[in-house]
Amino acid sequence: MAKINKRHIQILKHGVIYFAAFLTLFLIGYRNFTISEKEYIESLSAKSIINTEVVAPDVLYIKTLDLIKKNYFDKTLNGQSISEWKNRYRAKIKTEDDAHIALNTMLASLDDPYSRFLSKNEFRVQTENIDSKAKGIGINIASYSGKIYIANVLKGTPADFAGLKRGDLILKIDDFNIKGKSLFQAIQHLKGPVGTSIEITVLRGEKELTKKIKREEININNVEYKKLDKNIGYIRLSSFISKDTPKHLISALDELKDTEGLILDIRGNKGGLFQNAIFSANLFLTNGFIVHVLDNKGNLNSYSADKDACVYFEPLVILADNESASAAEILLGALKDNKRAKIVGTKTFGKGLVQKVYPLPNETGINLTVGRYITPLGKSINKKGIKPDFEVYLTKEDLEQGIDSQLIFASNLLQNGI
């Protein structure tokens, strides 16, 4: 039977209001971390802080280049010199757009799809996600091969009530044709004032559907749970981006503490905050490494489980797919390498790079790669992914008939004692 650490629950119920409080909570569970490790993990925090300093566009450009040189994971900058980039646009940057274009051009030269400059609007959107609030209809979207799909529909939101589903291909938002547009452009059209409506047209299979949906303020809860037959618990963990994720996960485990086995579903979970993944993995581990991180100085920072932070001890099966990425793969790698869980589904995405969020002047920001994940057994998963113990695919027929063959397989594993 699972034993829930009540101290953790009380802290999480009352302390996760500001990000600083969350960090304090996180460090409480890791008393075996050295001071340097605590500082390192805190340095990776995606703090939802806006930098209101106002500088000229050319100053923003130079400040950002200096930050990149100091902190980027690849010290060679993909074989380039930072002075070369400073000289390239010398006396040419006059406007904010000039600075943004120049910075994104420079970042593109790193051949790193995860490092990107964020305009004022983009940084605000990202901060809202971390703060667990957004104005919209309640969907997560993803871009694949130039097409924009619904990656997840949040339960109890306008999109959920309207019948939108994961996997729907978005064609239009109002009169805005999504074909060939960026993910950010789609997000901007989905968001809007609370109480206003949008028409969204999607393609589901061969059927085109149009839904009129009213926007609301969405309180993001990335954790859903329920009890299945045979006293098996089920938790759907759709993202690690919200600072409230630990609180919601602890609450779910408390409700499922008497189950005899648990299915943790991280399909479609594209990651989020580094410390959320560490915290979540430790809820199921009494010992062993959770992850190693190689920084830009060549140092290997290792994070170990604290036995006092573990709250669930029964058999565990994890559902994963090719959209499970980044922080989700930290959790998966920790539980797989420590032989704590069996994995069902398909190979994961393979994003093994660590990004840090830096607020920049003019209310802008940058997501910058500062390290690389390595699993407890020393495997680099970047561009490789993590293979499941049991490869089970969802067929087109499964999707059309609403059958979740991966969930059924996982449930049977637990019923048969794995």
Just list the catalytic residues.
Answer: 326, 337, 351
Which two tokens mark 204? 């589901």
Do 240 and 269 form a contact (C-beta atoms < 8 A)?
A: yes
Do 198 and 141 form a contact (C-beta atoms < 8 A)?
A: no
Shortest CA distance to 350 belongs to which of 375, 386, 376, 378? 386
Question: Rounded distance, CA 337 to CA 351, Å?
Answer: 17
Rounded to 5, what percent of the chain is helix, strand, coil? 35, 25, 40
Question: Rounded distance, CA 357 to CA 100, Å?
Answer: 17
3-state helix/strand/coil string of 327-343? HHHHHHHHHHHCCCCEE
| Count of positions (residues) in the chain | 418
C-alpha torsion angle, residues 50, 52, 57, 60 (rounded to 10): -60
In order, the DSSP letters of 35-67 are HHHHHHHHHT------------HHHHHHHHHHH
In order, the DSSP letters of 247-304 are HHHHHHHHHTTT-SEEEEE-TT---B-HHHHHHHHHTT-SSSEEEEEEETTS-EEEEE
Question: Rounded distance, CA 21 to CA 15, Å?
Answer: 6
The residue to which tokens 């380039």 are assigned: 80
